[in-house]
Chain A
Amino acid sequence: MTTLNINGRDVTVDVPSDMPILWVLRDVVGLTGTKFGCGMALCGACTVHLDGQPIRSCVTPVAAVAGKKITTIEAIGETPAGKKVQRAWLDLEVVQCGYCQSGQIMSASALLARNAHPSDADIDAAMTGNICRCGTYPRIRAAIKHAAGGA
């Protein structure tokens, strides 16, 4: 049995220690907002925060998160940066199919939480690991700036 802190709540799960938290969240805990895209940390769809840092949950085992706080898309709106990012995403109509957007929003929220006014280069560095096949990149860039401007 392992106890994880997910979105401010302690959750005890019976899972192997090498199990990536993506599958703990989706298949065991039932938080399906975090998405599976590649399984190799190549696409960013599975991004969650670990003590506020964006990580790829598809390659992060349970053993690596003991004592740390996991935040997922379901709770990111409760953080100041996450709330701003969600608002900006709506204001600028970023979303199309929406599948990658949980990961995009988690990466963008982490960026804004540590850097209130990111440059284009900062945005590239923070967001390049998140693939969007619908091609919402120009709007994601604009929405991050919009969220920063609304600070």
Chain B
Amino acid sequence: MTEQTVSRRDFVVVLTSAGSGLLLGCRMGERSGAAAAAAAAAPSGFAPNAFIRIGTDGRITLIMNQVEMGQGVYTSMPMLLAEELEVGLDQVQLEHAPPNDRLYANPLVGFQMTGASSSVRMMYTPLRTAGATARTMLVAAAAQTWDVAPASCRAQNGVVTHLASGRTLAYGALVEKAAKLPPPEEVTLKGPKDFKLIGTPAKRLDTPDKVNGKATFGIDVRLPGMKIATVAASPVLGGKVAGLDDTKAKTIKGVRQIVRLDDAVAVVADHMWAAKQGLAALAIRWDDGPNAKVSIADVVQGLADAASQRPGVVARKQGNVAGAIGLTAKQIDAVYQVPFLAHATMEPMNCTVHVRKDGCEVWTCSQVLSRAQATAAHVTGLPLEKVVVHNHLLGGGFGRRLEIDYVTQAVRIAQQVDGPVKVVWTREEDIQHDVYRPYYYDRLTAWLDAGGKPAAWTHRIVGPSILARWAPPAFKDGMDGDAVDAAAQFKYAIPAIQVEYVRHEEPVLNTGFWRGVGPTHNVFVIESFIDELAAVAKTDPVEYRRAILGRAWRARAVLDLAAKQAGWGRPLPAGHGRGVSLLYSGWDTYVAEVAEVEVSTTGEVRVHRVVCAVDCGTVVNPDIVKAQIEGGVVFGISGALWGEITLKHGRVEQSNFHNYRVLRMNEAPAIEVHLIRNGEAPGGIGEPGTAVTAPALANAIFAATGKRIRKLPLASALKA
């Protein structure tokens, strides 16, 4: 890829001069699909959703929707802008965008949202175009000042230089003039060989304050007169408070108020300790409601019945399965299951709210800021513009903060409190009132030809639809695109494929997105089953995959690289095994992973080494890409080995890290990430590492023990 000329109008608009410098709006999302539809629907024909302000002091501010939860957007987004604007990364400041869907909607969903591994994918061209537009205008302003040709000038480090004379003008001195110039119709973006920032491991801009305690997360908000509350919601979904004795709680020093809602009780106090003590002293009688008797077995039975009795909606159909079956030698059937999972972000759910008669102010950390605002307006009955929301750094998102339940609840509590109140969930509340990764139940059948290769493949996915609740317009004709993500795209050249989705809701727990979303479930199922087929065909798992990858050269390249770097095929000690898995999904990123595990005689699994080969196309910051894969793998190991939320009498049985086990330092493997650098369009990187991990582990356990695990978590299955 060399230089690229783009139409400025597709991405950037110059908004105002107004004596305060240069303000540009740019539109995330390529002009296709949702972005084009949104642009067409906007009255002006172009609705920018990120803004760049260059002040007369030369300061550059990027105001954007994307929030920082560890994934590195506070660094990667400024890199894109700074590259084309010709400024240093340290010259760009970030501002959290306020809630405003009209200004900051993510075109993927039509509202403000950070998630779906989408930020770099959606901003790669728009932000560079914005930088190039501003730079072109600043250079033109300098050229006009000196009465020379723009081509005789060069911009670098926020300064325009006239090359022949050596005269210089800083951006700050040029913005007023630049703002009055007509914006260029076209701008030329740099070719990769000229990149100074993109593709480099530039230092993260958010790190310094995160090593000295200065970084402010939602839970760190402090306001004059603020009280602290902690809360107990009905332990069974749909249950209500039937009776409350707060006599003892009120005697605890520091407890100020007990707030009773229909489905929860909160203790408001001077500090969290008093609030916790107060909560423990409450005698709450719950009416558990319709889910009082539900256990995990009931949920599984419901899913299994739906899998066998209900028609599915076709997500993918190629070739003719019925026709292909007659020619095959062998049929293999399997049922795969994955459990409910909690997110367990390190920062428990929290939200600070001050409700006044004429307004409401909210301090929190959210992946969906405008929804936080909307729920506060809805609960209080205030108009949207009377609700101010302040966002903060997220102490982990992983999809949990795509939900606003904790904001809604905090506003309901705050309505009964005089002054600001910070509602902080205990870890127990956080684990037991999550919006969980759904339980999925999958039926697969493959028919192998005489050579052992799959001639036909059917996959029926049964689970709830998160999209139908969370983004209703995205749920169309009975199809949830997230639930089938990866199953609908995998690259194996199987002559006949049919993938079906059966929506089945079990409203005993709230379910939502969990890092890796649809692919975290589907890649486990697909890649485990492919491994089963390889075993039936008595073929090496890497060779088997290579042989059925057809023309998918990027998939084959990551597979080969991971296998090579992992030393695939080299002998291992007894009890050890290597497993491979391959990911391709709607993120447009290819990952192959080889995991090496050891299974003890008592069934304990130890992951020794993980090797990933990653092709996410154009890489903005290779160190952040590697960090996201490393972190994704660790998150995936925790979920695959131990992650499981179960129900008894309608109640979640897990409560804290002693019984919702997550990976620790002494259990963490060495993780190697190898990047394939090419000029393809950038793919998502926040989630693939998680989604690709469970099957690599399951396949490694099979290699080590001969035991095929079709139901997560792996550790429970090994001990069963």
Interface residue ranges, A against B (CB under 8 Å): 15-16, 19-20, 23-24, 26-28, 30-40, 42-43, 45, 72-74, 76-77, 86, 89-90, 93, 95-102, 105, 123-125, 127-141
Contacts and interface: CB of A to CB of B under 8 A. Distances in A.
- Pick the most buried of A86, A93, A100: most chain B CB atoms within 10 A of its CB: A93
Given A20-B273, A43-B657, A45-B346, A135 B206 contact: no
A142 B689 CA distance: 20
A26 B210 contact: no
Contacts of A93: 201, 203-204, 207, 623-624, 627
B665 A97 contact: no
A34 B211 CA distance: 11
A137 B624 CA distance: 15
A36 B634 contact: no
Interface of B: 68-72, 201, 203-204, 206-208, 210-217, 219-220, 222, 228, 253-254, 270-273, 276, 344-348, 393-398, 424, 426-427, 623-624, 627, 630-635, 638, 656-658, 662-666, 668, 670-671
A31 B395 CA distance: 17
A36 B350 CA distance: 11
16 contacts: A19-B271, A27-B228, A38-B427, A86-B212, A95-B70, A95-B206, A96-B70, A97-B346, A99-B346, A99-B396, A128-B666, A131-B664, A132-B634, A137-B634, A138-B630, A139-B627
Contacts of A127: 665-666
B348 A36 contact: yes
B396 A134 contact: yes
A104 to B, nearest CB: 9
Contacts of B216: 32
A36 B665 contact: no
A35 B215 CA distance: 11
A95 B665 contact: no
A93 to B, nearest CB: 6
Instruction: Name the 10 nearest CB pairs between A and B, nearest first.
Output: A33-B213, A135-B634, A99-B395, A97-B70, A96-B70, A98-B210, A135-B631, A27-B271, A137-B668, A73-B213
A77 B633 CA distance: 31
Contact of A32 (B71, B212, B220, B634): B220
Nearest to A85: B211
A102 B220 CA distance: 13
Nearest to B637: A135
A15 B270 CA distance: 10
Contacts of B668: 135, 137-138, 141
Contact of A137 (B201, B215, B658, B665): B665
- Pick the most buried of A39, A86, A138: most chain B CB atoms within 10 A of its CB: A138
A10 B276 CA distance: 27
A42 B658 contact: yes
A134 B631 contact: yes
A135 B635 contact: yes
Given A20-B273, A36-B348, A128 B627 contact: no
Contact of A74 (B213, B397, B427): B213
Contact of B396 (A34, A129, A133): A133
B214 to A, nearest CB: 7
B266 to A, nearest CB: 16
A149 to B, nearest CB: 18
Nearest to A92: B623
Contacts of B393: 97-98
A58 to B, nearest CB: 10
Given A39-B276, A97-B70, 4 more contacts: A20-B273, A37-B427, A97-B397, A134-B396
B630 A128 contact: no
A77 B203 CA distance: 20
Nearest to A20: B273
A15 B272 CA distance: 12
A40 to B, nearest CB: 6
A47 to B, nearest CB: 12
A36 B272 contact: yes
Given A135-B633, A138-B668, A90 B207 contact: yes
- Chain B contact residues: over half helix, strand or loop, or mixed? loop
Contacts, number: 184
A124 B665 contact: yes
Nearest to A97: B70
Contacts of B670: 138
B396 A38 contact: no
A28 B210 CA distance: 22
A40 B271 CA distance: 18
A76 B213 CA distance: 10
A63 to B, nearest CB: 13
Given A32-B220, A99-B396, A128 B213 contact: no
Nearest to B215: A98
Contacts of A33: 212-214
Given A135-B633, A137-B668, A40 B395 contact: no
A30 B221 CA distance: 10
A34 B276 CA distance: 18
B212 to A, nearest CB: 6
A97 B215 CA distance: 10
B212 A40 contact: no
A100 B213 CA distance: 10
B272 to A, nearest CB: 5
Contacts of A23: 271-273
B272 A97 contact: no
A102 B213 contact: yes
B94 to A, nearest CB: 15
B513 to A, nearest CB: 16
Nearest to A106: B213
Contact of A72 (B213, B276, B424, B658): B213
A39 B426 contact: yes
Nearest to B227: A27
Contacts of B207: 89-90, 93, 95, 98
Nearest to B254: A16
A135 B346 contact: no
A123 B664 CA distance: 12
A16 B273 CA distance: 9
A33 B393 CA distance: 13
Given A133-B345, A133-B662, A26 B203 contact: no
Contact of A101 (B71, B211, B219): B211
A79 to B, nearest CB: 13
B70 A98 contact: yes
A34 B228 contact: no
Contacts of A73: 212-213
Nearest to B253: A16
B576 to A, nearest CB: 19
Contacts of B201: 93
A119 to B, nearest CB: 13
Contacts of B623: 93
B78 to A, nearest CB: 16
Contacts of A45: 346
Given A45-B346, A98-B215, A135 B395 contact: no
B426 A140 contact: no
Contacts of B214: 33, 74
Given A89-B207, A96-B631, A39 B217 contact: no
Given A35-B395, A93-B627, A77 B271 contact: no
A98 B213 contact: no
A40 B213 contact: no
A39 B656 CA distance: 9
Contacts of B219: 32, 35-36
Given A20-B273, A77-B212, A136 B656 contact: no
Contacts of A38: 427, 656-657
Given A72-B213, A90-B208, A100-B346, A135 B272 contact: no
Contacts of A16: 253-254, 273
A113 B413 CA distance: 45
A151 B538 CA distance: 54
